[in-house]
Structure 1
Amino acid sequence: MTKSQNTRTAGNTADVVILGAGPAGLLLANLLHREGIDCAVLERATPVHIRTRARAGFLAANTVRILDRHGLSGNLHRDGRLHGSCEFRTDDGHFRLDYAGLGLREQHTVYPQQDLVGDLLDQYLDAGGRVHFETEALAVHGIDGPRPTVTVRTPDGGGTRSGGGDTNGTAEWTARYVAGCDGRYGASRRSLPPTARHHRRDHGVSWLGLIAEAPPSLDAVGYALHGRGFAGHMARTPQVTRYYLQCERGTRAGELPEERIWDELDTRMRAPEHGPLHRGRILQRAVVDLESDVVEPLRHGSLLLAGDAAGLISPAAAKGANLAVLEAELLARALVDDLAHGDGRALERYSAEALERVWRAQEFSHWMVQLLHARPGPSDDESFFHESIRRARISSLRTSRSHQDWFAENYVGI
């Protein structure tokens, strides 16, 4: 059997059924499997899709420590690049923060999320872990009881339901716990009871996210604040760069021609002053509406949430994958204590401990959204007030060492 193929066992049962093969689900699976906890990962997509889907790329220092601690760094230290600078370009000039020398003096490691997912998947499969691709979780049932079930759909209707596959192409998995790591729109969220609280914030801002086959144009993360809207530059590899371009809500990803996109990026990144961007073929594009949400609590009986299923965070501060890794480690420890040692105290604390970190990350992400964007809507007194506050924040970040230390600590950490 080659890597990334589904593994099969007799009967669809596991101590922990993990929904989703992203950073949270795969890290959790690795940590449980090595402790002898029987687990299985159910993923709706194909292995090719999860290995190539471009997402985040900045790993916090603590994320790297977690991966190192468990021997799950994969190719990160070989192929990743340390990064410790960001540059702000505004109407009042530009300045650079070398955050690696500020605050806690920590850096990011630039390593595309799809590469991290591939590393975690390979390590899990090499250790004999179970992954079922193209297996879509539809609903989680019985979370108030001792043996919850997950209804799934597979291409061939495989699995067991009362001794065999269902004629409608569905099957059931039975577990002791279900770990919902399947994102904002997955079955775990759809299966939450009415007592779950959903906290949402629409920031009123949209980005056109781009992956360009072009080398980075500056050796720092670039944040451009412009009257036409925000633009961002984030290196991924020596050959590939991610860009963000603020756009109107409702913009379709494919409606702007490439030349116009590059011209707009040049304008907002102030090419006449700093030099034109390295242009190249745009490989991927998607429109992202900047929204944030948090579910409370993160435990509902036998169903536990982690990653984007626990809370969605705007990409403005690169916290999503880092929160997912942190939550997965917390949850793994708690499940091992409960299933291997009969000690459920850590599981009782999981939600509160994870949410403390989630809300701190949300606070900084919200601060970044306000820093980078003019207030959406018509120009009025309230918009002028918001813009004046924003300029004051930028000025303070440019000149105040204590503000720079605070920024660095929160920018890299959680």
Structure 2
Amino acid sequence: MTNSQSTGKAAQSADVVVLGAGPAGLLAANLLHRGGIDCVVLERADRSHVQTRARAGFLVANTVRILDRHGLAGGLHRHGRQHGTCEFRTAEGRFRLDYGGLGRGERHTVYPQQDLVTDLLTHYLEAGGRIHFGTEALAVHDADTSRPSVAVREADGRPGRWRARYVAGCDGRHGAARRSLPPGALRHRRDHGISWLGLLAQAPPSLDAVGYAVHDRGFAGHMARTSEVTRYYLQCERGTAAAARSDEHIWDELETRMYAAEHGPLNRGRILHRGVVDFESDVIEPLRHGSLLLAGDAASLISPSAAKGANLAVLEAELLAQALIADLAHGDAAALERYSREALAHIWRAQEFSHWMIRLLHREPSAPEGESFFHESLRLSRLESLRTSRTHQDWFAENYTGV
């Protein structure tokens, strides 16, 4: 599909304009197009960038069920890997949870998000779907009417406009959808005071489990992506520059925090990508504002501590597409209000577990002087309960693999 050739002189139109070509936007577009709804995707980046930007890679069982339900899981089943074990490391030792056999008996599928996005994009284009790359949405106008419009900057820099019945805002926390919310929209926000240096290393996994290391120097994490690429996380001070540490220093610090002296060295390799993530969470309520509806990171931002972001995006996209089809094809105007309520229920549950994981893996950053020992003792007690209590383990597994 080629970029838009709009001259900016006349508005283009679709029943639904989808902003953003991430998992939420592309899944929604696939389902809308299949449901006979005239839709178009507007994406600021070019196609190459969309298909190569590295993101999360742990898909929960419900995400796989959704993709299966709509015939969109072929690549995942061919190339994804089942995973059901995590390992916690502390100064007292280590323990493993085979969470795939706990709770509901569900596992993760390891499948890089850029591969999922490529699959969804390929399906959409092969079915004749419309997408305009290099088209930046600037603002959503008249969202309180039945004919909203989206002001855009075309790939050639010229202004353009799209008219629609509905706008699906799937363009992230800094996108036009959020910038266009009315004053009455509620944003519930929390800054957790935690930052991670996220690393993608050209190195085979160093253990056959997701690794969570709790250390006096800060958290460290190990998550396999492929047989030759591993994702690592290293807690860092707020304001740390991604390039501030050399590769050698990073590997030394990872080995220290993951207790390599006790449990074996890490497989080292070239660091392919690095970036700092500040732990912030927020939720927009409601998710419908007239003709503008939100999904994915535009609807809620969640910390990466429990790998819920992409999974929430897929779940919300299915709910949103079904609601839009119900309204546009079957006249069920109440479906869009139900979308907001149903999606928010899932979002808040995921936020709660993500917050619990943050408290499990990190020292309390804002504890008043004299209270740090109290908070640290609570955290170690949570870890000990997770190690010894089958009831706690079942609860963890159900929430860890759910949304």
What TM-score results when the alignment is normalised by the length of structure 1?
0.95
2:305 alignment partner, one of 316, 320, 339 = 316
| 1:308 CA displacement | 0.2
Q: Would the aligned equivalents of 2:42 and 2:135 in 1 still touch at CA under 8 Å?
A: yes
| 1:370 CA displacement | 0.4
Indicate yes or no: 2:249 matched with 1:260.
yes
SS of structure 2 residue aligned to 1:88: strand
* Matches of 2:259 and 2:300, distance apart in 1: 35
* Matches of 2:216 and 2:41, distance apart in 1: 46
Indicate yes or no: 2:65 matched with 1:76.
no
Q: Would the aligned equivalents of 1:8 and 1:130 in 2 still touch at CA under 8 Å?
A: no
Match of 1:39 in 2: 39
Match of 2:296 in 1: 307
What TM-score results when the alignment is normalised by the length of structure 2?
0.97
Point out 4+ residue stretches in structure 1 off by more than 2 angstroms.
4-11, 377-381
Report the number of matched residues: 400
Match of 2:276 in 1: 287
SS of structure 2 residue aligned to 1:185: coil
* Matches of 2:277 and 2:243, distance apart in 1: 13
Residue type of the partner of 2:188?
H
Residue type of the partner of 1:208?
L
2:236 alignment partner, one of 233, 247, 253 = 247
Gap runs ≥5 in structure 1: 158-168
Q: Deviations over 1:282-327 (max 9, x none)?
A: 0000000011000000000000000000000000000000000000
Match of 1:179 in 2: 168
* Matches of 2:171 and 2:331, distance apart in 1: 27
| 1:255 CA displacement | 1.0
* Matches of 1:401 and 1:370, distance apart in 2: 20
* Matches of 1:6 and 1:74, distance apart in 2: 27
SS of structure 2 residue aligned to 1:171: strand
Q: Would the aligned equivalents of 2:11 and 2:161 in 1 still touch at CA under 8 Å?
A: no
* Matches of 1:129 and 1:74, distance apart in 2: 19
Q: Deviations over 1:257-276 (max 9, x none)?
A: 00000000000011111111
Match of 1:141 in 2: 141
Question: Which residues in structure 2 correspond to 1:95-114 (within 5 Å)?
Answer: 95-114=95-114
Question: Which residues in structure 2 correspond to 1:9-408 (within 5 Å)?
Answer: 12-157=12-157, 169-376=158-365, 380-408=369-397
| 1:91 CA displacement | 1.3
Q: Deviations over 1:105-126 (max 9, x none)?
A: 0000000000000000000000
Gap runs ≥5 in structure 2: none
Of 343-352 and 324-333, deviating more is 343-352
Residue type of the partner of 2:140?
V
| 1:236 CA displacement | 0.4
SS of structure 1 residue aligned to 2:165: strand
Q: Would the aligned equivalents of 1:231 and 1:244 in 2 still touch at CA under 8 Å?
A: yes
SS of structure 2 residue aligned to 1:295: strand
| 1:8 CA displacement | 6.3
| 1:149 CA displacement | 0.3
| 1:5 CA displacement | 3.6
SS of structure 1 residue aligned to 2:152: strand
Q: Would the aligned equivalents of 1:74 and 1:120 in 2 still touch at CA under 8 Å?
A: no
Q: Give the alignment's Cα RMSD to 1 decimal.
A: 1.2
* Matches of 2:43 and 2:220, distance apart in 1: 34
* Matches of 2:54 and 2:232, distance apart in 1: 12
| 1:351 CA displacement | 0.6
Q: Would the aligned equivalents of 1:188 and 1:309 in 2 still touch at CA under 8 Å?
A: yes
Identity of aligned residues (%): 74
* Matches of 1:5 and 1:367, distance apart in 2: 45
| 1:378 CA displacement | 7.3
| 1:11 CA displacement | 5.7
| 1:155 CA displacement | 2.7
Match of 1:6 in 2: 3
* Matches of 1:379 and 1:175, distance apart in 2: 52
SS of structure 2 residue aligned to 1:219: coil
Q: Deviations over 1:156-181 (max 9, x none)?
A: 24xxxxxxxxxxx2110000000000
SS of structure 2 residue aligned to 1:381: coil
